[in-house]
Structure 1
Amino acid sequence: MARGRSQGSKRPSMFEVARLAGVSHQTVSRVINHSPDVSDATRAKVQAAIEELDYRPSNSARALASSRSRTIGLVAGGVNYFGPVSSITSIESIARDHGLFMSVMMVDESNCAQADFEQLCENFLQQNVDAFIFLTPTDAMFEAACKAQVSQPRVIVTSTHGALRADEVLGRSPDSSRLAFTGIDQWGAVQEVARLLALRGHRTALYMAGPSGWRDATTRLDSWRQAAKKYRIRTAVVRSQTWQARESYALMNHLIDERGMTGRALPSAVVTANDNQAVGAARALHEHGLRIPQDISIVGFDDIPTVDNMYPPLTTVRPRFADLGAATMRQVLALMNQGEQAHFPTTHHGVGLIGTDVVLRSSLGHAVRH
């Protein structure tokens, strides 16, 4: 049972923990900082003393003892969208489990100049951060993160395709041992979507792409084009300027009206680059009296909350964001010489990739003849 402290009493020190455990204060410090150079028996004694005294180490004391701040600087773009927010949540949770503090700065991913990015990094350096994590959904952010003038280890969370590839950056980096890339296997996810459509007899499909400059959008579109050719799906592509449902609603309305005037048949399926787009497209289809999936199927990407309660529930891709957070933090710790590197089932263009799951719901049916 912990001795505890009365309100206003003096906080127990590391030296008191060492005295109670019968070890040196350096040993207590090693236990607190998760050093492997402590036997299991000694570690158990120290932990028991910590619990009995209700000792809580301060970050400043740990930093002095270990020459580390135990703080990770995270610069994130795309925080208005489900994917980046889910990634941040997962990364922060894993960092906390390792006794690390996450300092987060959010930026406008579409308007992030190199000078702005360098200033963000300088703000973090004043906090003496031990490493950086950069969530870079756009080409502009990705290039800025790769060029950032920092010597600390950095892990860049990104997509595999865009204006600049990760393996190109690694190939010309003077110290690639302090740089790593992680992401979601979006290429493989779209390939699986196309395969499932082909199995259900779909030979025509509309693909609604995301905004140019977004690496997710580029990766998914490039994969779709290859997969459509592979599975002999005749495809038309429309590109949104945003990820928003209101734009996909307008685009879908325009397509339906155009096909109605020309007498051309609608495709048997609509594949969207994210779930917001699927919501807008589905609304337009419903308002024109088209049934999903009896008349036309629809598939999204991200598995955002509530799409399982759409009418009908949406078939979509579910990225494994929790696994991405764990792998990203493991890469950070490995670059800091505090553990082994993460194992990735797939690596593409220099990016270690975490898998996805296609969640089959009733919005995807078998193809119908128009």
Structure 2
Amino acid sequence: MMDDESRLDKRASMFEVAQMAGVSHQTVSRVINHSPNVSASTRARVQHAIDVLHYRPSNSARTLASRRSHTIGLIAGGQHFYGPVSAISSIEEMARRHNLFLAVSMVHEALCTQSEFEELCRSFDEQNVDAFIFITPTDVMFSAACRVRFRQPRVMITSTHGSLSMGQAGRMMQSDERRRTALVGLDQWNAMAEVARLVARFGHHSALYFTGPLQWRDAATRLLGWRKAAAAHTIESREIECNSWESSEAYSRMNHDLERIGATGESKPTVVVTANDAQAVGVARALHEHGLRIPQDISLVGFDDMTGMDDLWPPLSTVRPDFEELGTAAMRETLRLLGGDVQTVYSSNAHGVGLIPARVIQRRSLGPVPHL
């Protein structure tokens, strides 16, 4: 009989586990692959043998047995930004809970080409991934994800609007691919409607809105949502278009606008709304350097509720998207498309996209219209 030390030096096989548990190797395979067609007592015997023998199933063996690799391929843009990173973390955590491995490739969200995207998909396909998740924050990436051809299900995290409409995106895919596709995103229309309602409640009817880079679908969707909501609440809104999400650009553009207002004698807006929190930080610095107090002289609202926004002075009113739930919803849709008994319930749907809520967090940077 093999002693304990020599057994540890030799990797146990499925057949040894089956022999110790008194079952067939097919039964061991069913236990490993979480098949429901195994009695509780048999499952316990097999698990005991696995523990005693320190058996670790080979992923290649599992793939041959189940015709699945238990691997999800994720291609993501926006790795330098708070939202995509938070969603990836949530996807990976849920994948582990379902005994799935997440293979990740990061790309530049604005510079990724169709050929680069297709090459990454081919690389994952060679690994026999079971499904794809694409985080496509820009029109360039969203288009590439719709055009690529493969047999596996795909889940795309994106926004409802951009230069590429959802109708155009659907026409890029073949009918069978559309049936194997799910889209999830944030409910940014309702979020901007809440911002406008709150701003109007404080008596503001003159606003300055900082856009994000409009090749980002989030920026395009937030801008359209803000325009519609501002009009509904009779808020006169002037826009400053930014080419990045960076605080430095917002700081520079706010400085320039304040200098212009000072030179022309034009009335200042009573509130500034920005497309993300980093922009709000830049705006706050520019206002401070011009001797304007927040919110006594001008109010400020951001978007994202990044870490530390509650520690700004004054603490920033902002929108808090549920990025963790966004990642969880993407993973649940993946499991559903793979045939699992999983359903995702959304608070709302628009243009074929299941939407995750984002709520306004009111803090001291938003106050009443100043008395003149």
Normalised by the size of structure 1, how large is the TM-score? 0.93
Q: How does 1:78-227 map to 2 (within 5 A)?
A: 78-170=78-170, 173-175=174-176, 176-227=178-229
Deviates more, 1:45-54 or 1:345-354: 45-54
Q: Matched residue pairs, number?
A: 368
Alignment CA distance shift 1:26-1:234 (3 Å): same
SS in 1 for 2:240: strand
Q: Distance in 1 between matches of 2:347 and 2:43?
A: 34
8 Å Cα contact 2:254-2:286 kept in structure 1: yes
Question: After superposition, what is the alpha-carbon deviation per residue over 1:152-200, rounded to whole angstroms, capped at 9, x for unaligned?
Answer: 1111110010122335534663112211111111121111111111111
Question: After superposition, what is the alpha-carbon deviation per residue over 1:277-312, rounded to whole angstroms, capped at 9, x for unaligned?
Answer: 011001101111111111111111111112221111
The one-letter amino acid of 1:159's match is S
Deviates more, 1:16-25 or 1:95-104: 16-25
SS in 1 for 2:9: coil
SS in 2 for 1:266: coil
Q: How does 1:300-319 map to 2 (within 5 A)?
A: 300-319=302-321
8 Å Cα contact 1:167-1:350 kept in structure 2: no
The one-letter amino acid of 2:217's match is R
Q: Which residue of 2 aligns with 1:62?
A: 62
Alignment CA distance shift 1:73-1:367 (3 Å): same
Q: Distance in 2 between matches of 1:5 and 1:233?
A: 77
1:39, distance to aligned residue in structure 2 (A) = 4.1
Q: Which residue of 2 aligns with 1:268?
A: 270
Q: Which residue of 1 aligns with 2:342?
A: 340
8 Å Cα contact 1:165-1:349 kept in structure 2: no
Alignment CA distance shift 1:21-1:231 (3 Å): farther
The one-letter amino acid of 1:221's match is L
Question: After superposition, what is the alpha-carbon deviation per residue over 1:4-61, rounded to whole angstroms, capped at 9, x for unaligned?
Answer: 9789522333333334444332233223223333344544444444444443323222
8 Å Cα contact 2:90-2:324 kept in structure 1: yes
SS in 1 for 2:175: coil
8 Å Cα contact 1:313-1:361 kept in structure 2: yes
Q: How does 1:16-31 map to 2 (within 5 A)?
A: 16-31=16-31
The one-letter amino acid of 1:298's match is L
Deviates more, 1:340-349 or 1:45-54: 45-54
SS in 2 for 1:237: strand
Q: Distance in 1 between matches of 2:312 and 2:359?
A: 19
SS in 1 for 2:55: coil
Alignment CA distance shift 1:50-1:170 (3 Å): farther
Q: Distance in 2 between matches of 1:322 and 1:5?
A: 45
The one-letter amino acid of 2:361's match is V
The one-letter amino acid of 1:25's match is H
Query: Which runs of at least 4 in structure 1 moved beyond 6 Å after TM superposition?
Result: 4-7
8 Å Cα contact 2:143-2:169 kept in structure 1: no
Normalised by the size of structure 2, how large is the TM-score? 0.93
Q: Which residue of 2 aligns with 1:368?
A: 370
Q: Distance in 1 between matches of 2:21 and 2:231?
A: 68
1:127, distance to aligned residue in structure 2 (A) = 1.2
8 Å Cα contact 1:177-1:335 kept in structure 2: no
8 Å Cα contact 2:72-2:103 kept in structure 1: yes
SS in 2 for 1:129: coil
Question: After superposition, what is the alpha-carbon deviation per residue over 1:64-102, rounded to whole angstroms, capped at 9, x for unaligned?
Answer: 221111111111111111111111111111111111111
Kindly, what percent of the aligned residue pairs are identical? Answer: 57
1:253, distance to aligned residue in structure 2 (A) = 0.5
Alignment CA distance shift 1:349-1:254 (3 Å): same
1:121, distance to aligned residue in structure 2 (A) = 1.0
8 Å Cα contact 1:117-1:144 kept in structure 2: yes
Counterpart selection for 1:322 from 324, 331, 351: 324
Q: Distance in 2 between matches of 1:201 and 1:42?
A: 69
SS in 2 for 1:181: strand
1:358, distance to aligned residue in structure 2 (A) = 1.7
Deviates more, 1:309-318 or 1:170-179: 170-179
Q: Which residue of 1 aligns with 2:293?
A: 291
* C-alpha RMSD of the superposition: 2.1
